[in-house]
Structure 1
Amino acid sequence: MYPMNLQLYPIVPKLRPYVKLICTMDCDNEADTHHIRVLPDTCVEVFINYTDTPVAIIGNELHKRSIVTFRMSRPMDVQMRKGSGCLAICFFPGMAYKFFRPPMHMLSDTTTALEDIWTDLAATIEDKLANVQNNNVRAAIAQQHLTTFLAAGQHDQQVANCLQQVELLEKPPTVKQLADSTGLSQRQLSRRFQHVVGLSPKEYLRVYRFIRSLRYLKNYPASSLTEIAYKSRYYDQAHFIRDYKDYAGHTPGEVVLSQRILY
């Protein structure tokens, strides 16, 4: 489904709480990859281009240089270009803000040129990665720069605690419960969430429920869609189907059958 050479790299200890994965993606085929649909996962991902080839077509737009995708609540259609090569850095939900100055809600559901965010540093990192031929070295160079960002970055422990609650609790908390756990009002928490995560707490909880259902689809392929909806804490099939149409552009059954939807 995704014909390219993909290689994962170990993440240095300082970055492990924030970085979900680092990999290189080299499209060595004689043709562009097929379009695939990438579903929202509330993650931010950087793609640093180390070739002269445009990195990808996303939607209908050709991206020639390095980009950042902010996959909050909308699917995106991606086609990698033949001959392209890039280093991808995917951040855990709510952790990318430490490495970017603009508030996350200003970038939510966008694909943005890396130079528009990291300015001159984007070109510096591109040049460094282009001038080495070893992908392990490329991963090390990128992590050195990320560690520098981290040293000067901001931190919001209250939002981090809320994200951890959502991840760990079997029954997802309500917005009120999250606010109560922080001592903030719901309005204050919403502002903090939008700044750090890119979504309000209510929006994040809804997308997270959808993401949880995708995990069940992947891990329990023998389960019925009714069982998946129940395990994912959907009140009824109508809400389950509505979220899939909103976040995937397809019904749950269509997502299961598709060979070109990535989740």
Structure 2
Amino acid sequence: MRYSTFAPPVSLSHLVRCFWVLESDAQSSGYIHRSMADCCTELLFHYKGLFHEIDEQERRTLSFRSGIHAQSYRYRRFITHEDFGIFGAYLYPYASKLLLNTPAAEFTNQMPDLHSALGPQGRELEERIILAPNTQERIRILSDFIHGRLSKLPTGYDHPAVSAVKYTVHAKHLPKVRDLASRFNLSERQFERKFSEYAGMSPKRFMRIVRFENACNLYRNKLEKSLTEIAYECGYFDQSHFIRDFKTFSGYEPGQYFSGHAEGTEWRD
């Protein structure tokens, strides 16, 4: 399993958190990937191999060749028996509002293919990314495309709620909603409405997912911290709250996830 990340151009760092590549050779038993709840959005391009999504009844549906994995408060499972290569751009959730002129909430928990989201431009972009000879060329093609979409936006599109969403994504100690609204000079009611427009969900749910992601990011330190220490460090009120949120957003008990043997975590190792 080979996983690498790449920093975006400085000119896109307000929109793109990183570019990434995940590759693997075929496994006889198949590889199951689990996408967990995430406060951010991804553009995905399968340049080698394809996955099937597995639903709760274990039925399988062929996934897209390229598409959008929007911000989500649910987990999903995918399987492949092929060699595969995936190129992705990890975006802040307000990307759909800025790049597609669509409120983020319309994409929440959705995975539309790129053709549906972008029409002919989506088909052209998919073909260019799939046929590109290497990762650096894929980054260049996608960066040029995003720059082109941004150039068509009116000036002054950076609403305070956009800054609030970005601030929250990176927060290690999450504030109360009223304090966050005050920080960005918005009334609490206005803040909740605009934040939801750009983040795709309410501030409270968004913060729950950020807290969950902060816990997941301690995965590499799983042998150095107890579950109680992880819960406390990430701001959970008690162990039961931690367990409930973790299972809702990942499908795992925390102990199972941090054991190092959970399905679909190989890419983190």
Establish whether TM, by shorter chain, passes 0.5.
yes
Name the amino acid aligned to 2:193: R
Partner Cα distance (1:160, 1:130) in 2: 31
Partner Cα distance (1:123, 1:216) in 2: 38
Partner Cα distance (1:122, 1:32) in 2: 33
Aligned counterpart, 1:35: 32
Aligned counterpart, 2:103: 103
Match of 2:11 among 6, 14, 28: 14
* CA shift for structure 1 position 105: 0.8
* CA shift for structure 1 position 14: 1.1
Aligned counterpart, 2:120: 120
SS in 2 for 1:46: strand
Partner Cα distance (2:9, 2:145) in 1: 12
Aligned counterpart, 1:129: 129
Aligned counterpart, 2:160: 158
* CA shift for structure 1 position 31: 5.4
Q: CA RMSD in A?
A: 2.6
Aligned counterpart, 1:242: 244
Partner Cα distance (2:173, 2:21) in 1: 36
Partner Cα distance (1:9, 1:217) in 2: 21
Report 1:1-263 matches (<5 A).
3=1, 5-29=2-26, 33-50=30-47, 53=49, 55-59=50-54, 60-80=60-80, 82-153=82-153, 155-166=157-168, 171-219=173-221, 221-257=223-259, 258-262=261-265
Matched pairs, number: 258
**Identical counterparts, % of pairs:** 23
Partner Cα distance (2:171, 2:77) in 1: 32
SS in 1 for 2:258: helix
Answer yes or no: is the 8 Å Cα contact 2:21–2:87 preserved in 1.
Answer: yes
Partner Cα distance (2:73, 2:7) in 1: 28
Which deviates further from its counterpart, 239-248 or 124-133?
124-133
Answer yes or no: is the 8 Å Cα contact 1:25–1:85 preserved in 2.
Answer: yes
TM-score normalised over the length of structure 2: 0.84
* CA shift for structure 1 position 44: 0.7
SS in 1 for 2:70: strand
1:83-121 per-residue CA deviation (whole Å, 9 max, x = no partner) reads: 444421111354453222221111111111111111111
Which deviates further from its counterpart, 238-247 or 162-171?
162-171
Which deviates further from its counterpart, 180-189 or 243-252?
180-189
1:205-231 per-residue CA deviation (whole Å, 9 max, x = no partner) reads: 111111122223433532111111111
> Unmatched 5+ residue regions in structure 2?
55-59
Partner Cα distance (2:4, 2:207) in 1: 32
1:30–1:234 CA distance, 2 compared to 1 (3 A): closer
TM-score normalised over the length of structure 1: 0.85
Name the amino acid aligned to 1:126: E
1:180-227 per-residue CA deviation (whole Å, 9 max, x = no partner) reads: 223333332222122211111111111111112222343353211111
1:189–1:230 CA distance, 2 compared to 1 (3 A): same
> Unmatched 5+ residue regions in structure 1?
none
SS in 2 for 1:90: strand
Answer yes or no: is the 8 Å Cα contact 1:25–1:86 preserved in 2.
Answer: yes
